[in-house]
Structure 1
Amino acid sequence: MARPIWNGVLSFGLLNVPISVMSGERKMDLHFRMLDGRDKNPVRYERVNSETGEEVPWKSIVKAFEYAKGNYVVLEPEDIESAAPESHESIDIEAFVDATEITPAYYEKPYVLVPGKKADKGYVLLRETLRKTGRIGIGRVVIRTREYLCAVFPQGDALVMNLLRYPQEIVDVDDYKLPAAKASDVRISKAELDMAEKLIESMASAWKPEDYKDEFRDRLRKVIEQRVKSAGVTRRVDDEPEPPADATTNVVDFMSLLRKSLATHKRTPAKSESSAKAKTQSPRSKAKPRKAASKAAPAKKSAKRRSTSARKSA
């Protein structure tokens, strides 16, 4: 059983619901160690003084803020603690907003709120009220001395808390050059719009997150297993297919591409067999041209020998 991040209360109005904050994500990254390529010994990361080159022990390290190039102000632990909020054991909901008002860019990290002992009534009350009204609770929570903005919303039988990014942390899309033109301004015809709509409708599906997996991670794990079995010899992971030559140009026959996409999707509602075969194609089949080239090499050598002997006889 996972351990809670902390225990406290979920507070809204005058109601307090005892809860435990549990992690809502599972890290699946593959962790690598850096080795010395000469003798394969692990490489250590040391804290070194930039002036003397000597290693610095942890007890001698202090935190500082670089307010100008090469100029620092040192912060003591009590300085950081004084800036931290006093409330450490409650999620204080300050407002309830419409669930559709928060764009995905704000969501950062999920947690699951588990009710404490004899807290089921308040927990279910908030969960069902949020579900009925279609609203999300917006509040603040302190985790490890830092205050976060957070959203609390129902998900199945659970109340989920997702840490939110502050507006200052999100890049405004208006900072980038984006096409504000209408469809007619860029010569998109009604036929192209209709075809695109049919393609999207033909690919419409219910959201099933279990259908999506980190395929790169799975392939990389197989490469690692193969490396272990072969004692260092392995095959390279196939590169992604290169985009078509006209992928970055504006001169594209959209109707033709939409028809092909629609026809392909009608034939194969899920993944096509051809694409599956292409993904699982063995490296041996791709290596055939190399074999042919190696067989042709002796012929070139023999031709070279004949031309050399001909020059000698001349």
Structure 2
Amino acid sequence: MARPIWSGTLSFGLLNVPVSLMSGERKVDIGFRMLDSRDKKPMCFERINADTGEEVPWKDIIKAFEYHKVSYVVVEKEDIASASPQTHESIDVETFVDRDVIGLHFYEKPYVLVPGKKAEKGYVLLRETQKKIAKVGVARVVIRTREYLCAVAAEDDALVLLMLRYPQKLVEPSEYKLPDGKPSEYRIPARESEMAANLLESMATSWQPESYEDEFRKRLKAKGATTRIIDEQAPEHEDAATNVVDFMSLLQKILDENKRTPARRAPAKKAKVAKKAAKAPARKATKTPRKAAAR
């Protein structure tokens, strides 16, 4: 069973609803690992001083941010702690806005809010009220040491929490050279606009997300089924990527199901050798037991 990423309360006005924050996405991306082509062993990376070329132990590594090229400000642990937000136990809804006013480019990552024990009443009350007024709550939540801007929205039977990007992280479309003005300024007649609208309408269907699939991952899995994988347990490294194991085990499972292993071919080889030995002259056949006895 999935474990909650965060547990606390969803607060709006004077109402507090105990909730758990559960992931709203599955990690199915393929992670690649670099191997040495000579022996198929995984590569590991070291922390190297850019000037001396020597490895730096973890105890000698400090954090800093670069405010100018090759100019750094060192940040101590105390500085990070004092700058971190203090509230870690609640999702504080600050306001409610219309669903359509938040641009699509603000949305980043989905989560599902699950009510705690005996908290269903407040959960359903907020969910159904948001559906009725067609608004989403804009809130802040602290996960670990970072504060995030988020939106709380009602969707079917769930309250979902959608991470939002801060506006400072977004590039305004106006920064690019885009065609503005009316269609007539680009010599687009009304008849052509009508034909384009008819074309789009003819392509319109209902939204069925289950009909879409990551085709790259699907094709790569098919390629992996015909690729020989070294069946050897590699030693774990401190800096080893954690998402590689899933990919390797997935490919190995496909190989086990769709490709005959050498163990299955072995009996055929033995039968062939036995058949060959049966056809051999009697003189050669008598030598085999003597060799076996000598061993």
Deviation, 1:27, is: 1.4
Of 62-71 and 173-182, deviating more is 62-71
Letter aligned with residue 24 of structure 2? G
Of 204-213 and 43-52, deviating more is 43-52
SS at match of 1:130: helix
Off by >6 Å, runs of 4+ in structure 1: none
Letter aligned with residue 144 of structure 1? R
Q: Could you list the per-position Cα deviations for residues 168-201 of structure 1 after superposition, in whole angstroms to 9, with x for gaps in the alignment?
A: 1111000000010321111112221121111111
Deviation, 1:36, is: 2.0
Identity %: 63
Counterpart residue number, 2:170? 170
Give, in whole Å, the separation in 2 of the partners of 1:52 and 1:216.
42
SS at match of 1:114: strand
Query: 1:100-179 to 2 correspondence within 5 Å?
Result: 100-179=100-179
Counterpart residue number, 1:270? none
SS at match of 1:34: coil
Give, in whole Å, the separation in 2 of the partners of 1:113 and 1:80.
29
Of 46-55 and 96-105, deviating more is 46-55
Give, in whole Å, the separation in 2 of the partners of 1:49 and 1:201.
60
Counterpart residue number, 1:74? 74
Give, in whole Å, the separation in 2 of the partners of 1:69 and 1:185.
45
Of 32-41 and 99-108, deviating more is 32-41
Query: 1:244-259 to 2 correspondence within 5 Å?
Result: none
Gaps of 5+ in 1: 232-314
SS at match of 2:109: strand
Counterpart residue number, 1:56? 56
2:23 aligned with 1:23: yes
Give, in whole Å, the separation in 2 of the partners of 1:69 and 1:153.
42
Deviation, 1:73, is: 2.0
Deviation, 1:58, is: 2.0
Counterpart residue number, 1:290? none
Counterpart residue number, 1:43? 43
2:27 aligned with 1:33: no
Counterpart residue number, 1:199? 199
TM-score (norm 2): 0.75
Give, in whole Å, the separation in 2 of the partners of 1:78 and 1:138.
30
SS at match of 1:32: coil
SS at match of 2:180: coil
Gaps of 5+ in 2: 232-295
Aligned-residue Cα RMSD (Å) equals 1.6
Give, in whole Å, the separation in 2 of the partners of 1:206 and 1:71.
54
SS at match of 2:178: coil
Letter aligned with residue 207 of structure 1? W
Letter aligned with residue 22 of structure 1? M
Counterpart residue number, 1:10? 10
Give, in whole Å, the separation in 2 of the partners of 1:216 and 1:69.
38
Q: Could you list the per-position Cα deviations for residues 191-212 of structure 1 after superposition, in whole angstroms to 9, with x for gaps in the alignment?
A: 2112111111111111110111
Deviation, 1:49, is: 1.4
